[in-house]
Amino acid sequence: MSGQPALIATCAQGLEPVLEAELRALGFPRIRPLRAAVLFGATIQDGYRALLWSRIASRILFEVARFPCADRDELYDGVRTIDWSDHLGPRSTLAIQFVGVSRTLRHSGFAARVVKDAIVDQFRDKHGQRPSVDLDDPDLRIHVHLAAGKATVAIDLAGPPLHQRGLQREAGPAPLKENVAAAILALAGWPAAAREGRPLCDPMCGSGTILTEAAMVARDVAPGLHRTRWGHDRWRGHDATAWKGLLEEARQRKEAGRTVEVGLYGGDVDPDVLPFAVRNLARAGFADVVGQLVCRDARTAQAPEPIPGLLVTNPPYGARMHDEARADELLRDFGDTLRHRFLGWTAWILVGRPRQARALGLRPSARHPIRNGRLDARLLEVSIADTPPRGGPRGRESHQNSERS
């Protein structure tokens, strides 16, 4: 065994720099980016604070051991050396997640069984009883990561992944994960823009994930505050006093942020999907934003306020919902709408294919790679000139008229 215990925040690949910046802004010490993860913090309280306040992390892992591991025997011995009675009891249930391979440990299912055997053998030898496996709702989730000949064993403090905000959201056919939406908002500089009173508009908002996350940021609502299940609930090392204190602080901050004015605007052309956004925002406590949602074609959208703001949106890629040609045509017309009606705004548009980026017809000042589920997407950052181009938007008359929801 070696090294000081550490906390590991995991994330979608590509989001490491955004997560790193978020953890720095939260004030954690000892931050170091890894692949699809960021090392941070020093204490279990740091882990709890990240659970409640990281909008971008997928999981928070609390490292309990790290050891050289070349094969099955080293894995078994290393796991068995940990005193598991610090973490669970002989009648507890557990689930193992094993990530990584070595020359001789090529199958994660096999490696996970070796880890489980080492733990249950320790209990059987000491107590004559052993924990059992429960993959759905275990008392403890144990995460083992094998890379470069080293195994890292950690307690998964999150339990259900952190993008689940505990709000039972209703999702349309292609929803963004909440933590991906939060990462996009962080890249777009929404926290500062919200403080400056600038508006944010998502004219293809679907079930309203971007708007809900934006409201949470603006009103200082901890992303974990509504969750009721955590990985540490039945962990023997859980510090209930520290956790309660952090929850209470998060409740007070939410209360203090309740009256913050926030200019959020959204729309969607699909009358069946827009009610999801309305209900999701209401469920999250942002019913006052709901009056600003409109059922309309994004190509007829207007800047909702005279102050230039951020337009953040995730149009159909063409892969799952529209066919590609229709998705490209939509972006071509939408690019026109932006040039003529969103003067001085900054647009952040998540596209799934390079052709979509070209179809927009606006030169992005940056392209950020973002993994969205199984898609390698790109977030385009586009500064829209504050003077209109000559001529009106193409094909405007052919689009349906605005209509309030």
Ligand X SMILES: C[S@@+](CC[C@H](N)C(=O)[O-])C[C@H]1O[C@@H](n2cnc3c(N)ncnc32)[C@H](O)[C@@H]1O
Nearest 5 degrees, angle CA 278-CA 328-CA 11?
60
Interacting span for ligand X (CB under 6 A) from 110-118, 229-237, 308-316, 336-344: 308-316
92 versus 207: smaller Cβ distance to ligand X: 207
Among 51, 69, 157, 273, binds ligand X (CB under 6 A): 273
Q: Does 206 bind ligand X (CB under 6 A)?
A: yes
Residues 380-398: b if buried by 16+ CB within 10 A, e if exposed? bbbebeeeeeeeebeeeee
Residue 266 lies near ligand X (rule: CB under 6 A): no
**Which residue number, 156 or 213, has a Cβ lying nearer to ligand X?**
213
x/- mask, ligand X, residues 209-228, rule CB under 6 A, reads: xx------------------
Interface with ligand X (CB under 6 A), residue total: 22
Helices 178-187 and 209-218: crossing angle in degrees, nearest 10, is 60
Q: Residue 269 interacts with ligand X (CB under 6 A)? A: yes
Q: Which is nearer to ligand X, 203 or 285 (CB)?
A: 203
d(CA 33, CA 334): 37
- By CB under 6 A, tell whether 22 contacts ligand X: no
Q: Using alpha carbons, list the distances in angstroms from residue 198 to 151, 154, 277, 345.
A: 47, 42, 21, 10
Handedness of CA 20, 21, 27, 30 (dihedral sign): positive
For every residue of 374-404, DSSP letters joined together read TEEEEEEEEEPPSSPPSSPPTTGGGSPPP-B
**CA neighbor of 64 nearest in space, from 49, 51, 45, 83:** 83
319 interacts with ligand X by CB under 6 A = no
330 touches ligand X (CB under 6 A):
yes
* Half-sphere CA count of 70, side-chain side, radius 13 A: 0
Instruction: Report if residue 292 touches ligand X, rule: CB under 6 A.
Output: no
Q: Which is nearer to ligand X, 210 or 222 (CB)?
A: 210
Report the amino acid identity of residue 335: G
Apex 105 CA angle, 100 and 106, nearest 5: 70
Rounded Cα gap, residues 220 and 77, in angstroms: 46
Q: In DSSP terms, which residues pair with 377 in a beta bridge? A: 370
Residue 231 has phi, psi (to 5 degrees) of -65, -25
Q: Which of 314, 337, 356, 372 binds ligand X (CB under 6 A)?
A: 314
204 binds ligand X (CB under 6 A): yes
Identified binder of ligand X from the candidate list 78, 131, 159, 172, rule CB under 6 A: 172
Pick one of 175, 304, 308, 318: the residue that binds ligand X (CB under 6 A).
175
Query: Near ligand X by CB under 6 A, which window of 42-50, 92-100, 116-124, 295-303?
Result: 295-303
Site for ligand X in 46-75 (CB under 6 A): none
Minimum Å gap between C-beta 285 and ligand X is 18
Among 329, 322, 372, which residue's Cα sits nearest to residue 351? 372
Which part of the chain contacts ligand X (CB under 6 A), choosing from 84-92, 140-148, 152-160, 198-206? 198-206
Residue nearest to ligand X (CB): 206
For ligand X, the closer of residues 87 and 296 by Cβ is 296
Using CB under 6 A, pick the residue from 297, 339, 351, 360 that binds ligand X.
Answer: 297
Which residues contact ligand X by CB under 6 A? 172, 174-176, 203-207, 209-210, 268-270, 273, 297-299, 314-316, 330
